[in-house]
């Protein structure tokens, strides 16, 4: 018998937790800055209306009606579209794996935020051997303490890809904690997932509200926020479309899986409007905070480098650092969503059926497409006579 959500609240919170995550915290502010603030918001809102709402409603309604995960839904549409569900499975696995790495880094930074002073406040020193004098590490001085802590203390990146060193034991421990939290959230299916979401969804909003209040008291905060709404570069449509897909989480089969555990007559139109709207408002809320604190946000290093620099200027920086990075770890909602999609697919198919579909779609049909492409490439592009 298929599981069901304990109540509608847990279902909505789980959907919202899947949508609201790292895409809102670092990707949306970065894209806003890249395209000049207001020039990005206009196509983003248009794409939300003409792409985000309709596709989310489609995924909700299909899962709710079929009571199956992505593979089950698409195989019912047509045997030839089963590969869409398989692609969703692969995407969920990939996203879940690298999202959990980021959660592990969030746990690592949360633990280091308890150290006084913060370990990225100043450069580490080394003993020169001359009169026991200590000097700052040159690499750190040439960059910054936050950059050095990220690349050397946390990631310990080698000079080249073939010169990897030993594992960072503390990061490995943080990864174990992240996977343990994921296990606890999934062990009892929708029952445990829904309970975890009460914390995973509400806690980030409490932290963001605290940051918003603190941000408004910073000098120059209004100038940074004003830049967010300043139109500049109109070439933002493709990034706006990609942000809608990335932020809401469309095409991953997750919402199909979520909806498959609801009743057939659930109001999925309300679910669509609520989840997509709150997700977009959250992105805008985060952007207001980031632009107010930083003025001009950085790229993908926003969370672990740029924001670390900003936190150092806050009174009681340890407190704000713990709040921020613990909020990053509450992004487990997205990971839970991804793996819920994976688990629902496996539960629907069973082991041997999954093997048969992999054999048919990826080996059988996949090789057929490859051979067809080879034939056309030789016949049309290279030339039979050659």
- Known binding residue 160? Answer is no
Ligand-binding site membership of 20 (annotated): yes
19 is in an annotated binding site: yes
Q: What tokens appear for 238 in the block?
A: 């493709």
Structure tokens of 317?
């920086």
Query: Phi/psi of residue 206, each to 5°?
Result: -65, -45
Nearest to 28 by CA among 54, 48, 13: 48
* Helix (H), strand (E), coil (C) string for 227-253: HHCCCCCCCCHHHHHHHHHHHHCCCCC
Alpha helical stretches, state H, the chain: 8-19, 22, 28-34, 38-47, 53-66, 70-77, 82-112, 138-142, 145-148, 169-186, 190-216, 221-228, 237-248, 254-260, 268-294, 307-311, 317-329, 332-349, 351-357, 366-376
Tokens of 318: 């340890």
CA distance 273 to 271: 6
What is the spatial distance between Cα 301 and Cα 304, in angstroms, rounded to a whole number?
6
> Residue 334 annotated as binding?
yes
On whether 63 is known to bind a ligand per the annotation, the reply is no
The answer to whether 247 is annotated as binding is yes
Q: Which residues contact 152 (CB under 8 A, 6 or more apart)?
A: 139, 140
354: which residues sit within 8 A by CB, 6+ positions away?
A: 345, 346
Q: How far apart are CA 261 and CA 282, in angstroms?
A: 26
Strand, coil or helix: what is 127? strand
Q: Any known ligand binding at 17?
A: yes
Q: Which residues are annotated as a binding site for Na(+)?
A: 17, 19-20, 24, 247, 279, 334
Q: Which residues are annotated as a binding site?
A: 17, 19-20, 24, 247, 279, 334
């Amino acid at each position: 018998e298929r599981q069901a959500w304990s109540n509608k609240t847990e279902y909505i919170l789980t959907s919202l937790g899947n949508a609201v995550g790292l895409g809102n915290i670092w990707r949306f502010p970065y894209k806003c800055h890249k395209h000049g603030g207001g020039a990005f918001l206009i196509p983003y809102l248009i794409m939300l209306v003409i792409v985000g709402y309709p596709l989310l409603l489609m995924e909700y309604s299909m899962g709710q009606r079929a009571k199956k995960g992505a593979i089950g839904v698409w195989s019912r549409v047509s045997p030839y579209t089963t590969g869409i569900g398989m692609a969703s499975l692969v995407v969920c696995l990939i996203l879940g794996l690298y999202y959990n790495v980021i959660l592990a880094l969030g746990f690592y930074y949360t633990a280091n935020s308890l150290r006084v002073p913060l370990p990225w406040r100043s450069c580490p020193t080394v003993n020169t051997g001359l009169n026991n004098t200590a000097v700052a590490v040159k690499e750190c001085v040439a960059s910054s303490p936050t950059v050095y802590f990220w690349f050397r203390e946390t990631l310990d990146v080698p000079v080249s890809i073939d010169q990897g060193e030993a594992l960072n034991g503390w990061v490995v421990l943080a990864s174990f904690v992240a996977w343990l939290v994921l296990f606890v959230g999934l062990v009892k299916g929708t029952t445990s997932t829904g309970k975890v979401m009460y914390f995973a969804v509400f806690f980030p909003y409490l932290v963001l509200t605290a940051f918003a209040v603190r941000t408004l008291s910073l000098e120059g905060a209004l100038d940074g926020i004003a830049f967010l709404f300043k139109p500049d570069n109109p070439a933002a449509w493709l990034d706006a479309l990609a942000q809608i897909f990335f932020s809401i989480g469309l095409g991953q089969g997750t919402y199909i899986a979520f909806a498959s555990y609801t009743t057939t007559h659930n109001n999925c139109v309300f679910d669509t409007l609520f989840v997509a709207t709150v997700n977009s408002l959250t992105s805008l809320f985060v952007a207001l905070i980031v632009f107010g604190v930083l003025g001009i946000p950085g790229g993908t290093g926003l969370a672990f480098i740029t924001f670390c620099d900003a936190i150092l200027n806050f009174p009681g920086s340890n407190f704000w650092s713990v709040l921020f990075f613990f909020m990053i770890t509450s992004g487990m909602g997205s990971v839970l969503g991804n793996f819920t999609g994976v688990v629902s697919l496996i539960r629907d198919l069973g082991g041997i059926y999954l093997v048969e579909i992999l054999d048919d779609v990826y080996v059988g049909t996949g090789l057929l497409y490859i051979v067809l492409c080879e034939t056309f490439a030789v016949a049309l592009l290279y030339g039979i006579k050659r």
